[in-house]
Amino acid sequence: MAPKGKTSFTLKTPKGTKDWAGPDALLRDNIFSTITNVFKRHGGMALDTPVFELREILAGKYGEDSKLIYDLQDQGGEICSLRYDLTVPFARWLAMNTDIRNIKRYHLAKVYRRDQPAMTKGRMREFYQCDFDIAGAQFDPMVADSEVLKIATEVFDDLGWKGNYTIKINHRKILDGLFEVCGVPQDKIRTISSAVDKLDKLPWEDVRKEMVDEKGLDGAVADNIETYVVRKGGRDLLESLLADEKLTANASAKAGLDDMALLLGYLEDFGVLDKFSFDMSLARGLDYYTGVIYEVITEGSAPATATSAPEAQKLQRQAKKDKKVDADEDRSNDPSVGVGSVAAGGRYDDLVGMFSPKAQIPCVGISFGVDRIFSITKARMQRESKLRNSEVDVYVMAFGGKGFTGLLKERMQICKSLWEAGIKAEFLYKVKPKLPAQFKAAEANLVPFAVILGEDELAAGKVRVKEMGLPDGHPEKEGLLVDIASLTTEIKQRLEKKANESGVPADAPAGEQEDLAQKVKDLL
């Protein structure tokens, strides 16, 4: 680094953080809206908690990962830390509000982890989570769980990923049961479980090695485990497990399998069963899960994309560093793993009770990794369309010949009427703007319409409306004269037409409703 004078600063964001601006911020906001709309459709209540918590609230919740928690400096007063996820704050809120015995809550917010950043893989120190959780004391088994999973399918379908993702599901009680049945000693169950969780990144031989060489498991026990954890499927797998008398004799395994039978039925009722894979190798890292667990995976990785040459060089350097980090952590470079899971969650019935036994309340939830979803969506979009900084509808311009006054007052008033009609509009902050400068500004941000003011037209109560980007020879290439009195109506109609042309998704077609009616009838 260059030597610094008194007035010079290191102009950067802290390690593992970044600014979000322009098309990236806009795209991410659209992802947020899509997810929030799904959450609201299912009756979710918004909850917002402080970005930092008393340190003792977070203590003992994250096991080894606690070392990644950001602490605030002790400046006198309380000792606080930045939140590590949104689940523990939710549990703390439930424990504080014991009058609430059932609630669906959602929370979109940043969380903080002092992890080794790997920017090109989307691993950051500050990143967004979007959580939906259902807490309820007296619900029947697996009903809320199935709605959480239905929500997951709606989020990815609404994001346009239909047919392009799989939701792996498993059950902690099945896993715990099969480890017991296979002969894993009680005190090794959690550590063997986390070895199994690596099967999506490592071949069985490596995982076996970890179990036997590092964790001291009997080789024969490991081989027993293999016969189960390599299996995946749907109802077929469930039935073969239910037929396994050794397994069903174990109370934990039996309870888990009964839950799975209910769950698969409910997912079928919701019409989404084909999106799920019952995967015996899914174990999930966190300790607090007690029931069904799940992870959403998608095809393809999400390479970070440079928007400028210096950025490209920076990304190359970053990728090199990330590779080193991954080698250190002994991660596989299997490209099919891509950015890993894009959403994950499960049932956690005991977490709230950790704060206060009398506040105990069972919960089930899911967390969407928006930064990963963003990277993948962006990579897919960039092949298709150019991205915009903001979504302005209309650029209001003026032009004139000799003695041109600039028509600033008139541009302001036209903008005012557009704004009042809810139309997004802007104009150049110059008293006498040049026409090319105004067109350049409109084109740079892909503004779809120009409203052009000229003195003669204004005198006749008219302005010119021009659709931008029309090809030469198009009959409306030069725009059309429109009465000022009908300008906002005209613009609205054109914007609507344009939106329809670009194929905004319509509501569920009538045909689908009839199918449902038929189905409901058939059921009776």
> Residue length, the chain?
524
Q: How far apart are CA 340 and CA 200, in angstroms?
A: 9
- Asked if 332 touches a second copy (CB under 8 A), the answer is no
Residue 133 assigned as binding residue: yes
Sign of the alpha-carbon torsion through 266, 267, 271, 274: negative
Q: Which of 311, 334, 478, 512 binds a second copy (CB under 8 A)?
A: 512
- Span 261-280, contacts to a second copy by CB under 8 A: 266, 269-271
Nearer to a second copy, 198 or 275 (CB): 275
Cα-based torsion angle of the residue sequence 111, 136, 272, 294 in order, rounded to the nearest 10 degrees: 50
Q: Which stretch binds a second copy (CB under 8 A): 69-77, 179-187, 288-296, 372-380?
A: 69-77
Q: Which of 1, 3, 73, 471 binds a second copy (CB under 8 A)?
A: 73
Identity of the amino acid at 516: L
Report in angstroms how near the CB of residue 243 gets to a second copy at its nearest. 26
Q: Which of 431, 501, 502, 503 binds a second copy (CB under 8 A)?
A: 431
For 137-281, list the strands marked E by DSSP. 165-171, 232-233, 276-279
Of 279, 257, 258, 250, the closest CA to residue 184 belongs to 250
Q: Which of 238, 242, 337, 354 binds a second copy (CB under 8 A)?
A: 354
- Asked if 361 touches a second copy (CB under 8 A), the answer is no
- Span 442-481, contacts to a second copy by CB under 8 A: 445, 455, 458-459, 461
Residue 89 phi, psi dihedral angles, 5° rounding: -60, -35
Q: Which stretch binds a second copy (CB under 8 A): 139-147, 278-286, 316-324, 473-481?
A: 139-147
Report in angstroms how near the CB of residue 412 gets to a second copy at its nearest. 5
Contact in structure between 9 and 70 (CB atoms under 8 Å): no
Contact in structure between 332 and 72 (CB atoms under 8 Å): no
Nearer to a second copy, 75 or 502 (CB): 75
Q: Which of 299, 334, 483, 496 binds a second copy (CB under 8 A)?
A: 483
Q: How far apart are CA 30 and CA 248, in angstroms?
A: 46
Sign of the alpha-carbon torsion through 166, 171, 177, 180: positive
CB atoms within 10 A of CB 338: 20
Q: How far apart are CA 232 and CA 267, in angstroms?
A: 17
Q: How far apart are CA 524 and CA 107, in angstroms?
A: 39
- Span 379-418, contacts to a second copy by CB under 8 A: 389-392, 408-410, 412-414, 416-417
- Asked if 47 touches a second copy (CB under 8 A), the answer is yes
- Asked if 325 touches a second copy (CB under 8 A), the answer is no
Nearer to a second copy, 249 or 444 (CB): 444
Nearer to a second copy, 420 or 501 (CB): 420
- Span 280-319, contacts to a second copy by CB under 8 A: none
Report in angstroms how near the CB of residue 317 gets to a second copy at its nearest. 18
- Span 177-236, contacts to a second copy by CB under 8 A: none
Q: Which of 65, 136, 201, 332 binds a second copy (CB under 8 A)?
A: 136
H or E element in which residue 488 lies: helix 487-501
Nearer to a second copy, 80 or 207 (CB): 80
Any idea which residue has 């209540």 for tokens? 45
What the block records as the tokens of 120 is 């090109």
As a whole number of angstroms, the longest Cα–Cα distance in the chain is 95
Binding-site residue numbers are: 85-87, 113, 129, 133, 284, 288-289
